[in-house]
């Protein structure tokens, strides 16, 4: 029994290592992949502040609003918010199939969460009042263009760590930290 458990753990470790190496190799050979943020979930103080700020916005609007996480990864941000606000609708878009499957599994009991597996640039943003994202700098200019084109008046966007170069942030929430990227950028449309 113990041997089988050890083999299982070893296999899991091996799969994890292969996954990491495939990503490292793709970083060198695939330009599109280099511009794609890696699957790092929100964490630490940034995650706490993102949840506080999005929660405050939901409470201020006081209705059944729709919240989007473009590039939702495994759904880390959405899960906490969807549990807190069952009357709101939460949508996560994730283009990596395996990651989207994990997000779907993690949110399976939350009736107010929908995980869509596709490129966020092919999905309309117009129906969302609040957008919370954690992407990566090379993607932000294109992301900003999409927001400018599609966001309705009144939409608010919270961006964890990365700024939109062509749009002036209405607020920058400074967060002390060890890394180069720490702040939360707020954009009001």
Ligand X SMILES: C[S@@+](CC[C@H](N)C(=O)[O-])C[C@H]1O[C@@H](n2cnc3c(N)ncnc32)[C@H](O)[C@@H]1O
Cα 128 to chain center, whole Å?
Answer: 15
Least Å distance, CB 106 to ligand X, is 11
Least Å distance, CB 7 to ligand X, is 30
Beta carbon nearer to ligand X, 42 or 112: 42
Least Å distance, CB 99 to ligand X, is 5
Q: How far is the C-alpha of 175 from the C-alpha of 122, rounded, in Å?
A: 32
Beta carbon nearer to ligand X, 81 or 167: 81
Give the 3-state secondary structure of residue 155.
coil
Q: Which of 173, 78, 88 is nearest to 129 (CA)?
A: 88
What residue ranges bind ligand X (CB under 6 A)? 36-37, 39-42, 69, 71-73, 76-77, 93-96, 99, 119-121, 134-135
Q: How far is the C-alpha of 155 from the C-alpha of 127, rounded, in Å?
A: 9
Q: How far is the C-alpha of 73 from the C-alpha of 98, rounded, in Å?
A: 10
Q: How far is the C-alpha of 118 from the C-alpha of 121, rounded, in Å?
A: 9
Least Å distance, CB 81 to ligand X, is 11
Beta carbon nearer to ligand X, 100 or 167: 100
Beta carbon nearer to ligand X, 96 or 168: 96
């Amino acid at each position: 029994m113990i041997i089988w458990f050890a083999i299982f753990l070893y296999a899991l470790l091996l799969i994890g290592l292969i996954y990491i190496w495939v990503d490292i190799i793709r970083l060198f050979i695939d330009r599109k992949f280099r511009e794609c943020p890696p699957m790092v979930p929100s964490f630490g103080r940034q995650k706490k502040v993102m949840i506080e700020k999005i929660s405050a916005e939901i409470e201020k609007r006081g209705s059944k609003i729709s919240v989007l996480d473009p590039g939702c990864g495994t759904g880390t941000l959405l899960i906490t918010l969807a549990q807190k606000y069952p009357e709101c609708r939460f949508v996560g878009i994730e283009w990596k199939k395996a990651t989207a499957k994990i997000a779907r599994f993690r949110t399976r009991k939350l009736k107010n969460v929908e995980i869509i597996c596709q490129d966020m640039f092919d999905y309309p943003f117009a129906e969302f009042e609040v957008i919370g994202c954690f992407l990566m700098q090379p993607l932000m200019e294109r992301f900003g263009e999409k927001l400018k084109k599609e966001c309705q008046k009144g939409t608010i966007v919270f961006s964890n760590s990365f700024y939109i170069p062509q749009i002036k942030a209405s607020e920058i929430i400074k967060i002390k930290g060890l890394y180069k990227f720490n702040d939360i950028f707020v954009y009001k449309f």
